[in-house]
Amino acid sequence: MDQQQHSWIMMTNHQKRELPEGEHRLCVKHLHANWSKRFPGKMMKDMMWKAARAAMPYFEYRMQRIKNVSVEAYEAPNRIERKKWTRCAFPRGTNCPQHVNNWAEAFNVFIIKARDQPIITMFNTIYHTIMNRINEECQRKIKWKGFVCPKVDEVLKKIEEFLFEYITRPS
């Protein structure tokens, strides 16, 4: 089995310091925040995110579209190794398509109020915050109509509309 399949993936907005053997990615949200200081606007934001999410044949196309708008904007992300920020260059076998580290940042934000407390109180605060979050998610899920969550249902409906254009025939 390929060694890459067993490696860790670390995603940060900092340089590689820990897990030197692991795959290191950069958070596209943070890359975009820096990039948008020089290349602002919704159009540029959308173009960068589409490039980051693109599969290989489309990545070059997306980057060319950025280049058509601004050569400087095209060159900025190309200074960073592609395997650190764009899905088309992620190594095979890692099974982690994430571009952002929102889950870690969200956790850090909600434990901020607990950090200055004594250890037992801190753990209790974190525990209650997590339990409240789980309860809120459960209450929200009770309201779902259908077999899957609303966002997945929305995507499936779009795919279904697209498929009506095709006719299936036995071979």
Q: Which residue, chain included where needed, has tokens 């909600």?
A: 110
- Which residues are paired to 26 by β-bridges? 12
**Do 3 and 22 touch, CB atoms closer than 8 A?**
no
Task: Tell me the C-alpha distance between 54 and 86, whole Å.
Answer: 7
Task: Tell me the C-alpha distance between 8 and 21, whole Å.
Answer: 8
Q: How high is the pLDDT of residue 40?
A: 92
Q: How confident is the model over 38-79, as pLDDT tens digits?
A: 999 999 999 999 998 888 888 999 999 999 999 999 998 888
Q: What is the pLDDT along the chain (171 residues), one digit of tens a residue?
A: 444 444 555 555 555 455 566 677 788 888 888 888 999 999 999 999 999 888 888 899 999 999 999 999 999 888 888 888 888 887 776 666 666 766 667 777 777 878 888 999 999 988 998 899 889 988 988 888 878 888 888 888 888 887 777 777 887
Task: Tell me the C-alpha distance between 164 and 70, whole Å.
Answer: 39
Residue extents of the structural domains in the chain: 3-89, 102-163
pTM equals 0.56
